[in-house]
Amino acid sequence: MRPSILVAVHGAAGRMGQAILRTLIGREDIELVAALVRSGSDLSGRLLAATLGARAPAIAYTSSLRADLMPAVLIDFSVAAAFDRALACAVDRKMAFVSGTTGLTAKQRAALDSAAASIAVLWSANFSLGVALLARLVAEAARSLPDWDCEIVEAHHNRKQDAPSGTALALGREVASARDQDFDAVAKFSHVGVNAPRAPDSIGFSVTRAGDIVGEHTVMFATQGERIELVHRVTDRDIFARGAVAAAHWIAARPPGKYALADVLAGDPSQVSDA
């Protein structure tokens, strides 16, 4: 008996792509049918077993989705430059779209919104249950402490391409929304300079790129004499993969629309509780 949900993974050669492939191996309720890599990739044409071992399904990495394959969901963890191709493929083939690609432009975000008219889409900067909870706490703190300074500090491995991280930006937007602010107007990405005092009502960002740090985010609220720090640290990249696979399983049966990880949690907390 075949699994009810077929999925394809775009960005399969990357760190997150590989983690998602590993997570899919052995699942009985969801089946990987395509592992998509960029054109010219060293993995193109090679069997998945080359990177995942003997337990991997007997399919090869490829740069395009075969016409005879009909996945229900496309999971995209690539880079911003490859995002448009992935989204267009999902819309063209009527696949639900789950994406954790960060560094998107305003135009790409608008395209994601437009796609939601015809397919189910779920984009998140972070597929960790802990980060989903952190976002709620950050919004509550921002509403309760409207006059306190807010600084967001994040750290990732030295190969991460976008900065600040998509998660840091999402947390900043939570603060701005809770305070009825225009995020783009209050976000401050540098305090460098001789005459660079903190701007009133600004949300500051600091970035570290070093070693193999998987992901760390701290949201600080500070005022005279005291401060509160909300911190989330990740030591295992596979938690994001498990969250993304759970989201793919959940969204496969959903009608067109724009969804969030919070919707997955609200619908069935057990879907992501193991992440």
pLDDT per position as a tens digit, 221-247 = 999 999 999 999 999 888 889 999 999
Answer CATH for 5-123+237-271 from 2.40.50.140, 3.30.56.10, 1.10.3720.10, 3.40.50.720: 3.40.50.720
pLDDT, one tens digit per residue, over 116-151 is 999 999 999 889 878 888 999 999 999 999 999 999
CA dist 129 → 113, 133, 233, 257, 263 (Å):
24, 6, 12, 22, 12
Q: What is the 3-state secondary structure (H, E, C) of the chain?
A: CCCCEEEEEECCCCHHHHHHHHHHCCCCCEEEEEEECCCCCCCCCCECHHHHCCCCCCCEEECCCCCCCCCCEEEECCCHHHHHHHHHHHHHHCCEEEECCCCCCHHHHHHHHHHCCCCEEEECCCCCHHHHHHHHHHHHHHHHCCCCEEEEEEEECCCCCCCCCHHHHHHHHHHHHHCCCCHHHHEECCCCCCCCCCCCCCEEEEEEECCCCCEEEEEEEEECCEEEEEEEEECCCHHHHHHHHHHHHHHCCCCCEEECHHHHHHHCHHHCCCC
Say if residue 273's pLDDT is above 70. Answer: no
Distance CA 27, CA 7 (A): 12
Enumerate the active-site residues. Answer: 156, 160
**CATH class, range 129-234:** alpha beta
Residue 174 confidence (pLDDT): 96
CA distance 21 to 175: 34
Per-residue pLDDT, 275? 34
Largest CA distance in the chain: 68
Check whether 272 has a pLDDT greater than 60. Answer: no
* Predicted TM-score of the model (pTM): 0.75
Least confident residue range of 1-10, 55-64, 140-149: 1-10
Least confident of 5-19, 75-89, 195-209: 195-209
Average pLDDT in the chain: 91
Q: What is the pLDDT of residue 195?
A: 66
Percent of the chain with pLDDT over 90: 77
Intervals of CATH 3.40.50.720 along the chain: 5-123+237-271
What stretch(es) of the chain map to CATH 3.30.360.10? 129-234
Confidence of residue 28 (pLDDT cuts 50, 70, 90): confident
Instruction: Output the CA angle 101-137-270, nearest 5 degrees.
Output: 65
Question: What is the rounded average pLDDT of the residues 253-259?
Answer: 95
| Tokens (6 digits) for 107 | 């135009």
